[in-house]
Amino acid sequence: MADRLIFCDFDGTILVEEIFRDLLTHFAPEPAARILPEILALRVSLREGLTAILGTIPSHRWPEMEAFVLENSHLRAGFPEFLEALPRLGWELLVVTGGFTSMAELVLRPLRSQILAIHGLEVDLGQPFLRVHSSWEDQEELVAKKRVYDHYAPREALCIGDSVTDLRLARQCPKVFARNGLIGYLERERLPFTPFVDFWDLLRALEAPS
């Protein structure tokens, strides 16, 4: 059992941009336009929808995709300072992304030594079109963040997210910080959360007397 862990989303949370969504709409515009709204409306599972979209992207475009992510990613305000403060506050941070592990590794390379682990989608480039998998798959998601949570079994946990990929984890996590679309899902299900704008908000929350 781990001690005190923060499970943090990447796209739209650590990053200002929903970079995985932007990647899909740029490299697979037609299937993304058709399938992403169905995923967001919870009518199509993340596993089914993302597999269908990604399977239309030729593998030879992977270097272009990496370049796109590096050129269009910006860290949300306060994230480096938040990371720096965590050891003092007794927390460790895991990045759990519904997007590609390697993309998050690229963007976060300067800060990687301060992050316990990065979990997300893995890609097989050995076929004409992208094939994706992860160690955390279940029937609904390619990256079931709830499975990551269960694997680490923390004594205390915080979860930080912004979208549908964070919903199942947020249902289980004892303390949730939410922004953007995740707020709407949690409000509809009447689940507790704390809204945030940037990582300065999160740092103030962690530093506040309990």
Position 178 pLDDT exceeds 80: yes
State if pTM tops 0.75. yes
Domains held by the chain: number: 1
109 Cβ partners below 8 Å, 6+ apart?
none
Domain with 175 in it? 4-207
CATH number, domain with residue 10: 3.40.50.1000
Query: Counting runs of H as helices and runs of E as strands, what totals does the chain give?
Result: 10, 7
Residue of 84, 79, 106, 95 lying closest to 5 (CA atoms): 95
Report the pLDDT averaged over residues 129-158: 95
64 Cβ partners below 8 Å, 6+ apart?
27
Q: pLDDT, tens digit, for every residue of 16-59? A: 999 999 999 999 999 999 999 999 999 999 999 999 999 999 99
pLDDT band at residue 209, thresholds of 50, 70 and 90? confident
Q: pLDDT, tens digit, for every residue of 90-110? A: 999 999 999 999 999 999 999
Rounded to whole angstroms, the Cα distance separating 88 from 80 reads 14
CA 105 to chain CA centroid, nearest Å: 12
